[in-house]
Chain A
Amino acid sequence: MKHAFLGAAFAAALAVPAFAQDYTIMAPANPGGGWDGTARAMQEVLQAEGIAPSVEVINVPGAGGTVGLAQFVADSAGDPTKLIVGGYVMVGAILTNASPVTLADVTPIARLTGDTQAIVVPAASDIQTLGDLVEKLKADPGAVSWAGGSAGGTDHITVGLLAKAAGVDPTKINYVAFSGGGEAMAAILGNQVTAGVSSVGEFAEQVKAGTMRLLAVSSAERMPGIDAPTIKEAGFDVVVQNWRMIAAAPGLSDEQKAKVAADIEKLNASAGWTSMLETKGWANTYLAGEAFDTQLAADIATTETVLRDIGLVK
């Protein structure tokens, strides 16, 4: 612990003043969700690796993270010790809820992890491939019911993008929003719906056990160890990543921002973080600096278009 601390301090000395600062990470969601998990994982590794002496996590749940975001912007401006976890879901939620506070009001630091979306059908279904499913969707969009998370969330966006790519009117999709992953999964396993959308990780064990059939994944390339084509390969130009990021407070000086970015970079480079991601089953999709800013802007633009197409944003 002590030498790790010294090492970290030494590394930090290269760019910024050499001191380790405490952090308070806001998880804009209830305990138990992905953002809360990310925040608590960061808390553990930041402390264990000696990057920060003391890290606190606070939960401000509500409305796809927009409640927490609004509070974060209001309370933390100019405070370099305050961080907030966010992600792709927030991008959609800001738009559908017409949130007055957006990601432009915080200082995004880096993308940390990401989930790939998966499209599945119950094992008992006669649908074998994504092509079969899209055929059904074209024939009668209402007859294909989709189970997934909250309206306007990543799952909904994935279905909307797929419909659009397949030439089906996105406003006609029969998307059934469930609260919480467990309930949606139960509906798929119980053969209550035609198909389901969620993260690959959430379905992986079910697919392995043969209770669900994995039709396609939303990544750009095939995923190692997952026996399914990408949506792109199946002929529809859709790539979705449900990423999670860390952002700092608005109104930071360049030095303050650099210090936070350096700490997060150290976190990402640490052995503790690598093994944490492994146990949690999260992919490391670390992206920082200008590359991340560009990516973020592109994601916001695509999301806005598709939410308009689905009819969730006027």
Chain B
Amino acid sequence: MDSFSLLMQGLETALQPMILLYALVGVVLGTAVGVLPGIGPALTVALLLPVTYGLDPAGSLIMFAGIYYGGMYGGSTTSILLNTPGESASIVTAIEGNQMARQGRGGPALATAAIGSFVAGLIATLLLAFLAPQVVKLALSLGPREYFALMVLAFVTVSATFGDSTLRGLTSLFIGLALACVGIDGLTGAARLTFGVPQLMDGIETTTLAVALFAIGEALGVAAMTGPADRLHRVTGRVSMTAQDWKRSWKAWLRGTFIGFPIGSMPAGGADVASFLSYAAERKLTKHPEEFGHGAIEGVAGPEAANNAAAAGTLVPLLTLGLPTTATAAIMLAGFQQFGLQPGPLLFITNAELVWGLIASLLIANVMLVVLNLPLIGLWIKLLSIPRPWLYGGILLFATLGTIGVNPSPIELGMLILFGLMGYGMRLYGYPVAPVVVGLILGPMAEQQLRRALSIAQGDWLTLVSTPVSAILLTVSALFVVVPLVLRLMGRGKVLAAVAGDAD
């Protein structure tokens, strides 16, 4: 009850007109910068943080919350409309979202992303407010072996992004895993596949690979098409969601939220992992499996909810323990310090007012985001009616802007071209590009957690199944692999029997 009244007090402060204006400015700025491919939420917040310096704490806090949620949300717009994910957490959004946009259903795709983000943000922020201490206790009981098991589960479910050929899907995934080996090995400092090039020491930047494979590969593929132009990007039908869309979206939003929040609150989780798992879950649970890969709305609704819920989840270890578990959180920590606030286990007690002010700000920013973005959808969609030469010229300009702004080295730009060509080639021969990026993200996580777990246990492999959580996660992963295999074998047996019967 005490926390409730504190929250109300926070909301009251946040509802003053001036404060609301700051929230609006924050959301607009956050969305505008976050929308650029290659500029993720971390850089968005870092760039815009100084804007908040001049304001009083309440105004500054709320503008900051707006920038954070705006930056998280912005990436999905380009993913859906232009098949150009702005950051790693909106990669899977591109798979179904862009298909929807191609069928002229970009409006509903953007709407389900916006409303899903809102629903997830709302629920997750409330969970943060009332359950943070409990959730964090749970998250802390997980160590490297549990994270390794979680990564294995993510790997197994990643096959959902494979498209129609397992061989080509696995090939894509392992190309991604091979690329993931580039750089300094996190545990021993050994340089792998760097060939003495310093820029390769930190590995291949996820956003560079994603922007190249998706945006540049796509542009090359579309440009090289000789046949009659497909009706790509033509807006047909309504901009808003139909009753059917709502019906199919709401469960996905909720599932995404409940996948995203806990994973975001784990110190080694992250919004990208949450979005992969949500996509896999939607694909397994859908009543319309034939639509997946061709624009299934659940495949946008779930992951978008999941990555926003994970963004709120990240604040759990930050506010309860002072643990910045993502780059964005680390920058937020720096932002808090301007109010003399020292995140740590005592934060909720020593700075109750500010913490509840922040939570109230997040709620307001979340509302502001959906209020701003729903009407904007009509405008975003118009973007697609720009003639193709100008549209793709703009896409490539923005795609390279992200890379140039972050690291303007010729090697980074060279990689952009190289991977763009690779993306073009993969598209030609039906290789899906998403698993490459997924491999690049998950590979190092899985490897490092495995080696950490083994190191702590001094090489005892049994440690991997020595806790209930890790054992259950690994068993579930094994079932994911074995059950379809058995079913297929049984099915094939039946078919064979049927064939044999026919021959008789």
Contacts and interface: CB of A to CB of B under 8 A. Distances in A.
Q: Do chains A and B touch in the complex (CB under 8 A)?
A: yes
Interface of A: 30-33, 36-37, 40, 44, 59-63, 66-67, 70-71, 96-97, 99-100, 142-143, 145, 150-152, 174, 176-183, 185-187, 189-190, 192-193, 204-206, 208-209, 211, 279-281, 312
Given A32-B42, A71-B198, A174-B456, 20 more contacts: A30-B327, A31-B45, A36-B46, A60-B407, A61-B407, A63-B198, A142-B458, A151-B189, A176-B144, A177-B187, A180-B324, A182-B325, A186-B267, A186-B321, A186-B323, A193-B456, A205-B346, A209-B346, A279-B337, A279-B338
Contacts of B16: none
Interface in B161-218: 184-189, 191, 198-199, 201-202
Nearest to B199: A67
Contacts of A186: 139-140, 267-268, 317, 321, 323, 325
A174 B458 contact: yes
Contacts of A143: 458
A206 B322 contact: yes
A206 B43 CA distance: 28
A86 to B, nearest CB: 15
Interface residues of B, number: 56
A36 B328 CA distance: 13
Contacts of A62: 198-199, 201-202
Given A152-B189, A208-B346, A31 B331 contact: yes
B202 A176 contact: no
B317 A182 contact: yes
B321 A185 contact: yes
Contacts of B140: 186, 189-190
A208 B346 CA distance: 8
Contacts of B324: 32, 180-182
Contacts of A36: 46
B6 interface: no
16 contacts: A32-B333, A36-B46, A61-B407, A63-B202, A67-B202, A142-B458, A145-B455, A150-B186, A150-B189, A177-B186, A183-B325, A185-B323, A187-B144, A190-B142, A204-B344, A206-B321
B199 A183 contact: no
B330 interface: yes
Contact of B329 (A30, A100, A182): A182
Given A185-B321, A209-B346, A151 B188 contact: yes
A310 B70 CA distance: 46
Contacts of A193: 456
B456 A145 contact: yes
A100 to B, nearest CB: 8
B425 interface: no
Contacts of A40: 50, 334
B30 interface: no
B343 interface: yes
Contact of A32 (B185, B187, B330): B330
B13 interface: no
A31 B458 contact: no
A312 B346 contact: no
B448 interface: yes
B406 interface: yes
A71 B42 CA distance: 23
A32 B323 CA distance: 13
Contacts of B458: 142-143, 174
Nearest to B451: A176
B452 A176 contact: yes
Contacts of B202: 61-63, 67
B133 interface: no
Contact of B342 (A67, A185, A281): A281
Given A205-B346, A279-B337, A59 B406 contact: yes
Contacts of B322: 205-206
A206 B186 contact: no
